[in-house]
Chain A
């Protein structure tokens, strides 16, 4: 299984002018992994699909501000809410 968000720790110089962001993140949403969409994937109820923006849970990848996680800074998230 894969995650929708990846993290890395960039080099921090003692001479950097701004307080360092020790962990940075980037998004890796599901379309990067799916290839040709397989037939007969589970579907949302149509009402819910209209709200989510997709008919398939396998393509639903909500985004949250990674710099406003529960503990401030980069969150500890990146889990895969519907595919896990």
Chain B
């Protein structure tokens, strides 16, 4: 169960009307390394990982849903007042024909989201290593997105999301360390 707070994790501001950038941001909405794939991957792993690392995937999976909201807000703001002509010029004509301004879970190239984007192997090390890789790939996506826009407000939000990928990667790496630990050995700090 979740408790919802009716606010974004980090404020989303957008300076320029730029539907083309919205198209690129869709990579993080419904793409293979996007926030939806991340949230579903981690929340699904909660049931079968060793109990000492379940809290990590629970918390991070939940935060990914908050990131998903931020991306959705960016896309919404970038397209909200665009005309049909502007949508077509931005390469969003195919999207507009099917969805108008509604968001849909597909990547920047328009491929619909699929559960095949992630695995649930059942082997804790294999699953956590996939999680580390997923965070690094999402971090890289945010880098390329930052490279593609000149809007400092949009960059600021993307910068925050990228930093969270760094922290999540660190936590998944620590989860692996926890599972590697010899449990009967005392550890002193």
Contact = CB atoms under 8 A, between A and B. Distances in A.
Interface stretch (B16-24, B80-88, B107-115, B156-164): B156-164
Contact of A53 (B143, B164, B189): B164
Nearest to A30: B166
* Interface range, A side: 20 to 34
A57 B132 CA distance: 21
A4 B45 CA distance: 31
B107 to A, nearest CB: 21
Interface string A15-44: 000000000000101110011110100000
Contacts of B142: 63
B166 to A, nearest CB: 5
B146 interface: yes
A61 B163 contact: yes
A53 B163 contact: yes
Interface stretch (B35-43, B49-57, B120-128, B168-176): B168-176
Contact of A62 (B147, B159, B189): B159
Interface string B71-86: 0000000000000000
B10 A53 contact: yes
A8 B142 CA distance: 22
Interface string A38-80: 0100000000001111100001111111011000000000000
A31 B169 contact: yes
Contacts of A29: 139, 166, 169
B173 to A, nearest CB: 6
A27 B141 CA distance: 12
Interface residues of B, number: 21
B177 A35 contact: yes
B97 interface: no
Contact of B174 (A30, A37, A53, A67): A37
**Which of A34, A54, A63, A68 is most buried by chain B, counting CB atoms within 10 A of its CB?**
A63
Nearest to A68: B147
Contacts of B173: 31, 34-35
Nearest to B158: A63
B147 A61 contact: no
A37 B178 CA distance: 12
19 contacts: A31-B167, A31-B173, A34-B173, A35-B173, A36-B174, A36-B177, A39-B189, A50-B10, A51-B160, A53-B162, A53-B166, A53-B167, A54-B167, A59-B163, A59-B167, A61-B163, A62-B159, A63-B143, A63-B162
6 tightest A-B CB contacts, nearest first: A53-B163, A31-B170, A53-B160, A65-B147, A31-B169, A36-B177
